[in-house]
Structure 1
C-alpha cells in the first residue's frame, strides 16, 4: 500500500469520527452523565468494534479478490458508487442539530458503558457497508498480513484516539460547540475525500 492510499484511509476515518452522530452522543453522554473514566472506556470499546468491522471487511474482500476476481471488481465499482452517494449527502449537509442531554451524573457500572459503546458499532450494519466500500478501493491481491494489520490498527487508533481526545477536552466545554458550529464543513471535506477515493476506480 502506498503512503497516499494510507493517508486517504486515515483522513476518511478521522473525518468520519469527527462528524457528530450516535457514536459521539454515546461517548459524550458517558462523560457528562457518568465520568471521564466511563467515557475513556467507552471510547476504546467503540474503537475495538470499529476495528473488528474493518478486519472483517478486509478479509472478506481479500477472499473475494483471490477466489472471485470478477465479483470483486463489481464490488469495487459498487463501493465507489456508495462513496459517491455518501459524498453527495455530506456536501449538501447543513449545520448540525446534534444535542447531548446534560443531566446530573449518575452511577453506572463501567461494564454498561463498555457494552453500550460496542453495541452502537456492532448493531449498525451501515458501518460494515461503509468499510466494504472504502477498502474495496485499496485491497490488492498481494496484500500481506502486515498491511492488513496496519490498516486495522489505523482505523482502530484513529477512532479510539479521537474519542479519547473528546473525553479529555469535554471538561472544558469547548469541543461540543466547535463540532456543532463546524460540523457541516467537516462533512463537506469528507465528501470531497470520498469523491477522490471513488475516482480511483475510474482513473487507476
Structure 2
C-alpha cells in the first residue's frame, strides 16, 4: 500500500472547506474548544461508519437505486439548512465566560451535530468507496485488512485535522469575545456558507 501517497491525498482533501470544517470552526468559536472536539469526535465516528458501509458495498446500492441516494442527499441538505439557521440565530455572548443555555451548550449536542452532518452526506460514502480501493492491492495481502487499515488512517487523519480546526475556532472565539457585532457577522458568514454547501449537496 502506498501509505505516503494515501496520506498526502487525505491531507489535501481535509484542507478543502466543507460543512464538516465549518461546523467544527463555528462550534469552537461559539462554545469553546471542548465542544469543537466533541463535534470532531462525532465526525470521526460518522467517517468510520462510512468506511464500514463502503467495505460492505453500500455505495453499489446507491448506484443501483439512485432514488435512495437522492433521499439521503435531500435529508442531508435539509439538515445543513437547519444547522445554518441555528448558526444565524446564535445569540452573541458579552464575554467568553458567559454561560450558554444548557441544551445549546451540551457536549452531546455538539457530538450529535458532527455525527449527523457527515453521516447524512452520501457523497462521503461515495468518496470512501472511490478512494480506498485505489490503494488496496490483492497481491499485497488480505484485502479486508488493507481496507480496514486505510479506513483507520482516513478517520485518524480527519480527526487530527478537525482537532486543529477546533483549536483555530477557539482562537476565533477569543477574537470576537465581547464584541456582539463581530459575533453576529461571524454567525451570518458561517450560516450563509453552510446554506451554500447544502445547495451544492442537493444539486
Query: Where on the TM-score scale, by shorter chain, does this alignment land: which range?
Result: 0.5 to 0.7
Would you say 1:37 and 2:34 are equivalent positions? yes
In the other structure, the counterpart of 1:86 is none
Local SS of the residue matching 2:57: helix
Would you say 1:115 and 2:109 are equivalent positions? no
What is the TM-score when the length of structure 2 is the normalising length? 0.57
Task: Give aligned pairs, total.
Answer: 134
Contact between 1:43 and 1:117, CA under 8 Å: does it hold in 2? yes
Local SS of the residue matching 1:41: helix
| Equivalent residue runs for 1:116-155 within 5 Å | 116-141=113-138, 142-155=141-154
Deviates more, 1:118-127 or 1:48-57: 48-57
Tell me which of 22, 25, 30 is aligned to 1:28: 25
What is the TM-score when the length of structure 1 is the normalising length? 0.57
Task: Show CA shifts across 1:57-84 (max 9, x none).
Answer: 23439xx9xxxxxxxxxxxxxxxxxxxx
1:7/1:52 Cα in 2 relative to 1: closer, same or farther (>3 Å)?
farther
Q: Give 1:18 shift.
A: 1.5
In the other structure, the counterpart of 1:90 is none
Tell me which of 47, 50, 71 is aligned to 2:47: 50
Distance (Å, rounded) in 2 between the aligned partners of 1:171 and 1:27: 10
Which consecutive unaligned segments of at least 5 residues does structure 2 have? 61-86, 94-99, 173-203
Contact between 2:136 and 2:143, CA under 8 Å: does it hold in 1? no
Contact between 2:26 and 2:169, CA under 8 Å: does it hold in 1? no
Task: Show CA shifts across 1:111-138 (max 9, x none).
Answer: 1111110111110001111111112322
Local SS of the residue matching 1:137: helix
Distance (Å, rounded) in 1 between the aligned partners of 2:130 and 2:146: 18
Q: Give 1:34 shift.
A: 1.4
Distance (Å, rounded) in 1 between the aligned partners of 2:34 and 2:9: 27
Contact between 1:33 and 1:103, CA under 8 Å: does it hold in 2? no
Backbone CA RMSD of aligned residues: 2.6
In the other structure, the counterpart of 2:155 is 156
Tell me which of 2, 7, 11 is aligned to 2:8: 11
Local SS of the residue matching 2:118: helix
Distance (Å, rounded) in 1 between the aligned partners of 2:169 and 2:3: 30
Distance (Å, rounded) in 2 between the aligned partners of 1:123 and 1:148: 22
In the other structure, the counterpart of 2:73 is none
